[in-house]
Chain A
């Protein structure tokens, strides 16, 4: 006699320790095997795009902080550059250099959170705290510069809110010196750990063609073996002056595009970011960081789609201006929003525990998905 079995629907989230925020996953299970995953988003929707239409252009900057709250600098950066392009403002060299240094520090900080929380998802708690302790150093640098630790409102249209303080250069160099060996420590503790590799290698494989069709960007796309980085392929600001590599997934421990590759690409990207910071930190020219800040931000009629390489992927700002002081429409192409679409596809046929592995390796931030 066959035993009667039935599918079980498990609601993972919105309150769950490892959905990285208020994401709800509707899992259809057969035992522990995943038959189908439906992500439900929108629990953190804060009407960013509607707000923008009522704000003036500079007032939007603090709102961009709150999208990907782990990479606020990069969000500011993108918005500022987009509006500057729309208005045809040219900022001076000092601003460009400081912006790049801040964005790269922010990239390291964001990847630290991604890698640390991924460790927690897999069950290793210690690397998480090691990485967070190191992240504190970056946050302290930011705090000393602009007074905020998470939501900076630092990069304004046409300039910066504060100049860097005199100690900043030395402290940043110290940090770079300090952090390089820490990456090896992380690799020894977590990346090459046998159990960690068993849990992540060959899990959630994302082939390159699927990734491109789904519009996946950032570390996830690179982990699938596509050498694509907007800092190189469509350079903005002064990224074309620096010498750095684009790490891609090579399938060292499993197949190209698996969770381990996605993890490891981030580790390698931290090294590349350190390289950029090292090249930039000594060459900051003198100048006034608020030189080009316009009295009244009033772009001409027109529209722009500008995209930037955020820690999570391609952040796009689509801004339509009707010639007034308020944007007519701001649409944000949030990297996590697009990356999350492929999640259901990746999970099919895996176990419940793998859902966590895959979600962790995507490194989504719900503030950005829901905006």
Chain B
């Protein structure tokens, strides 16, 4: 992809900027627009309502209108806030969630950056969000924000542990940290996906299947908590803490937190897709291969990747509009008493299985 862009523009510098900006404008911004609308539509239809209907056909331009409104809003900064941190926090959160997309392989033609420590980078860079949230909550000089930020930080840090342990399990199984390589190990048909034991053969594959399902459920729950979605949306529990750490934010800064939340949802969904569901690989083979049209294959791969990722985003929305919210101590109980021991057990068992 990068080389392709160099060919087009003739300059590595321009190609670099284009390659960096392309996914943002091509995918993530449109995704955020659609996801916000989708959330409203999903919730509406789950609740016997219609949702936004006025702007455009069935309200499809609602998010655009909302963004326009948010851009026009006055940027209110109260007197007693820590101005530097307050202004910097939304950018940090946004950078953290957006930078995570850099290592994701969207299709065989378009891998943002195929670095060998991709998984490590993903976990590390998405932790930037924690710093941003704490900054935002602290600098707002608002008790609700502070409580929300503290809750959020303790929650994200706690839930990073089961995530990391499951990721470690997958690293043991695939013996690589490179997300592109992990994807390519799950090539061909869906029985090669890691959730069905990956490329292992014989008895090991059958032993791995239940463990992989368990690992998938653990990482799904813990990433759900990391992106602060119901039933783990305690940091912004609107019935308790008004809006949690971004209570004091208005206008575009608020929109950035909002956008970052949706970007995060997608990022972790993609991570799960790569780790367990074969990344961009089709479960049935490619139309392009059977027709002999080679350029169709990468496009199909992109579509498959997006479909799988968005499915998990939809599941997250579905959960949000069904379940109530846990309490702080119950949340920690779920993490420390259940998820972590189970994920450690899975790590050990997978270790044994990969030895034999």
Q: In A1-55, which residues have CB < 8 Å from any B CB?
A: 8, 10, 16-18, 32
Closest chain-A Cβ to B109's Cβ sits at a distance in Å of 41
Alpha-carbon distance A199/B321, docked complex (angstroms) = 17
- Segment at the interface with A among B24-32, B130-138, B167-175, B232-240: B232-240
Flag if A125 contacts B43 (CB, 8 Å).
Answer: yes
In angstroms, how far is the closest chain B Cβ from the Cβ of A274?
A: 21
Seed contacts A123-B233, A123-B239, A195-B326; 16 additional CB < 8 Å A-B pairs: A17-B242, A32-B147, A120-B239, A122-B324, A123-B230, A124-B324, A125-B47, A129-B48, A130-B47, A130-B48, A193-B324, A195-B324, A198-B330, A199-B330, A352-B147, A353-B234
Mark B305-336 against chain A: 1 for CB-CB distance below 8 A, else 0: 00000000000000001111111111000000
Q: A124-B323, A124-B324, A351-B329 are in contact. Are A356 and B231 (CB under 8 A)?
A: no
Count residues of chain B with CB under 8 A from any CB of chain A.
28
A:319-371 near B, CB below 8 Å:
351-356
- Shortest Cβ distance from B100 into chain A, in angstroms? 27
Q: List 5 A-B contacts (CB under 8 A).
A: A8-B143, A120-B239, A129-B47, A198-B327, A352-B240
Minimum CB–CB distance from A150 to chain B (whole Å) comes to: 21
- Give, as a whole number of angstroms, the nearest-CB distance from B67 to chain A: 23
Interface pair B324/A18, CB less than 8 Å apart? no
Which A residues are in CB contact (< 8 Å) with B326?
195, 198-199
Q: How far is the CA of A193 from the CA of B323 in the complex (A)?
A: 8
Docked Cα-Cα span, A355 to B240, in Å, equals 9
Q: Cα distance A123–B325 when bound, in Å?
A: 5
**A350 (CB) vs chain B CBs: closest residue:** B327
Inter-subunit contact B43/A195 (CB<8 Å) = no
Question: Does residue B157 face the partner (Cβ distance < 8 Å to A)?
Answer: no
Residues of chain B within 8 A (CB-CB) of A18 are 239-240
Q: Is the CB of B143 within 8 A of A10?
A: yes
Asked if A195 meets B48 with Cβ closer than 8 Å, knowing A126-B322, A353-B237, the reply is no
Task: Report the nearest B residue to A200, measured CB to CB.
Answer: B324
A190 contacts B by Cβ under 8 Å:
yes
For the complex, give the distance between the alpha carbons of A8 and B147 in Å: 11
The yes or no answer to A133 lying at the interface (CB within 8 A) is yes
Is B54 interfacial (CB-CB < 8 Å)?
no
Least distance between A361 CB and chain B CB atoms (Å): 13
**For the complex, would chain A's binding face be called helix, strand, loop or mixed by DSSP majority?**
helix
B323–A353 touching, CB < 8 Å: no
When each residue 124-143 of chain A gets 1 if its CB lies under 8 Å from chain B and 0 otherwise, what string results?
11100110010000000000
The answer to the question of A84 belonging to the interface, with a C-beta cut-off of 8 Å to chain B, is: no
Q: Are A17 and B239 in contact (CB under 8 A)?
A: yes
Contacts of B242 in A (CB 8 A): 16-17
List chain A residues, Cβ under 8 A from B46: 126
Q: Is the CB of B49 within 8 A of A129?
A: yes
In the complex, how many angstroms separate the beta carbon of A353 from the nearest chain B beta carbon? Answer: 5
The answer, among A32, A351, A356, for a CB contact under 8 Å with B239, is: A356
B329 and A17 within 8 A (CB): no
For the complex formed, measure the closest distance between the CB of B230 and the CB atoms of chain A, giving whole angstroms.
6
Asked if B323 and A351 make an inter-chain contact with CB atoms under 8 angstroms apart, the answer reads no
Partner of B323, one of A8, A32, A129, A195: A195
> Measured between alpha carbons, how far is A51 from B240 in the docked complex, in Å?
36
Q: What residues of A have a CB within 8 angstroms of the CB of B240 in the complex? A: 18, 352-353, 355-356
Q: Pick the contact of B324: A129, A196, A354 (CB < 8 A).
A: A196
- Residues of B within 8 Å of A195, CB to CB, are 231, 323-326
Tell me, yes or no, whether A121 is within 8 Å of chain B by CB. yes
> Given the complex, which residues of B lie within 8 Å of A123, measured CB to CB?
230-231, 233, 237, 239, 323-325
**Using an 8 Å CB-CB cutoff, how does the interface string of A181-213 with B read, 1 for contact, 0 for none?**
000000001100101101100000000000000
What residues of chain B lie closer than 8 Å to A355, measured between beta carbons? 240
* Complex-state Cα separation, A354 to B239, whole angstroms: 11
B327 pairs with A351, CB closer than 8 A: yes
Chain B contacts of A17 at CB under 8 A?
Answer: 238-239, 242
* Chain A minimum-CB-distance residue to B231: A195
Closest CB in chain A relative to B338 CB, distance in Å: 13
**Closest CB of chain A to B317's CB: distance in Å?**
12
Given A130-B47, A356-B240, A125:B321 Cβ within 8 A: yes
Q: Which residues of A contact B144 (CB under 8 A)?
A: 10
Instruction: Give the complex CA separation of A355 and B324 in angstroms.
Output: 16
> What's the Cα separation between A354 and B330 when bound, in Å?
12
Q: Does A225 contact B (CB under 8 A)?
A: no
Compute how far the CA of A199 lies from the CA of B323 in the bound complex, rounded to whole angstroms.
Answer: 12
Q: Which residues of B contact A354 (CB under 8 A)?
A: 327
Asked if A199 and B239 sit within 8 Å, CB to CB, the answer is no
- Looking at the assembled complex, report how far the CB atom of A340 sits from the nearest CB atom of chain B, in whole angstroms: 19
CB of A52, distance to nearest CB on chain B (Å)? 36
